[in-house]
Amino acid sequence: MLALYGLTALQCSNTVATWSGALHPEDTERTTAELNAAIAGDGHLELEFRIVWRDGTVKHIRAIGLVMWDQQGQAARILGVNIDITERKKSEAKLLAALEKEKEVSDLKSRFVSMASHEFRTPLTTIMSTAETLIQYRAKMNDAQMDQRLGKIITQVNYMKEMMEDILHLARLQAGKSLDFKPLPTDLNALCLEVIEEFYSEARHQDRIHYRSDPPPVMAVIDGRLMHQVVSNLVANALKYSTQTVSLELEKEETNIILTIRDHGIGIPENDLKHLFEPFHRAENVGAREGTGLGLSIAKQAVETHGGKITVESEVNKGSVFTIFIPLPTNEVLVP
């Protein structure tokens, strides 16, 4: 017992006091209650608890014993054994972690199959039906009609190509193979304006983005290509799930550059928020809107690659706010 509790004989004058004093604070209430239940019951005791040695070492103990009563029927002592199960607990923890990881992989595969079966089938169906129309009626079509259908095929092929690129990009990030990460001093204000201009090239998005920035340039050490993808993805989502104006705000604080993307769209159900950045996860209220559920996962890992973080606040039917924090270097030398 002295060896189990990391004590010398001189440090152990009272067994009960030694035991109760060594109990881990988080296990004290439960273990004491189980002990009292055994005394009040049939006297059989079997429990597990943690103890803390005087040097801070934590040990897992399994206790098995019987309560011994005196002639007056009062609990006098407990006869039994203590067993050190610390290594067993460590093995159990490793096994549980491995099982949880396996479950995550299984869930990921299921979500991928679900996404792929829908998101790939739709463009493939469009390509097939358009190609069949061209084969059957091309003799009756003029050049404009043929170009319109060929353009539809190209659009769907590009959509599938983007999906595959997202999947490969995510796989590289998760495997820690983002070796082409090249952070350089970059004006985030100019990057945001470039993203907005790209969206404004489509008539349906013109004048739908309200942008405000601290006085330019707003310099940060970032991978411009990667951050462009992050901002573009978040803006695209905001526009997709809202019919109102989307706002971007860029500001520089003492230790961070903060980019906020705000919309007034359908919002995200509370149950989905905790899974929002998981690959292939899509909120239950997205309806028939196309998407792979990869964009936010890629965005999160890209921001974290920069040493930053991304947060979200949302309420159903009121909108969402995504905030990106990019840390400024401690030895800030940013030349526009």
Q: What is the mean pLDDT of each run of 10 residues along the chain (336 residues)?
A: 78 65 89 89 90 90 90 85 91 86 70 67 86 90 90 85 74 60 91 93 88 93 91 91 92 93 92 82 70 78 91 93 89 49
Q: What's residue 124's pLDDT? A: 86
Domain count, the chain: 3
Looking at 174, 207, 223, which one is the last position of a domain? 174
Residue 264: burial class (beta carbons within 10 Å; 0-12, 13-18, 19+): middle
Domain annotation covers residue 179: no
Q: What's residue 292's pLDDT? A: 63
Domain annotation covers residue 232: yes
DSSP H helices, 138-273, are 143-174, 188-200, 224-240, 270-273
135 and 232: one domain?
A: no
Q: What's residue 102's pLDDT? A: 77
Element (H, E) at 212: strand 209-213
Q: How many residues does the chain have?
A: 336
Containing domain of residue 36, as a range? 2-84
Domain annotation covers residue 335: no
The tokens for 276 are: 């929002």
Q: What's residue 6's pLDDT? A: 83
The CATH number linked to 305 is 3.30.565.10
224 and 206: one domain?
A: yes
Domain annotation covers residue 334: no
154 and 216: one domain?
A: no
96 and 161: one domain?
A: yes
Looking at 174, 194, 228, which one is the last position of a domain? 174
The rounded distance, in Å, linking the Cα atoms of 206 and 211 is 13
Q: What's residue 239's pLDDT? A: 92
Q: What's residue 331's pLDDT? A: 55
CB 290 within 8 A of CB 119: yes
CB 208 within 8 A of CB 239: yes
101 and 55: one domain?
A: no
104 and 213: one domain?
A: no
The CATH number linked to 76 is 3.30.450.20
Domain annotation covers residue 141: yes
Domain annotation covers residue 221: yes
Q: What's residue 336's pLDDT? A: 45
309 and 190: one domain?
A: yes
- Count CB-CB contacts under 10 A for residue 163: 19
> At a CB cut-off of 8 Å and minimum separation 6, what does 67 contact?
38, 39, 43, 44, 45, 75, 77, 78
96 and 80: one domain?
A: no
Domain annotation covers residue 333: no
- The SS3 assignment for 322 reads strand
- Count CB-CB contacts under 10 A for residue 50: 18
224 and 162: one domain?
A: no
Q: What's residue 335's pLDDT? A: 47
126 and 25: one domain?
A: no
CB 51 within 8 A of CB 61: yes
43 and 157: one domain?
A: no
Nearest to 133 by CA among 117, 152, 119, 118: 152
Looking at 142, 174, 206, which one is the last position of a domain? 174
The CATH number linked to 153 is 1.10.287.130
190 and 79: one domain?
A: no
* pLDDT tens digit sequence for 145-156: 999 999 889 888
Domain annotation covers residue 123: yes
Distance in Å from the first CA to the final CA of the chain: 68
Q: What's residue 62's pLDDT? A: 93
Q: What's residue 238's pLDDT? A: 92
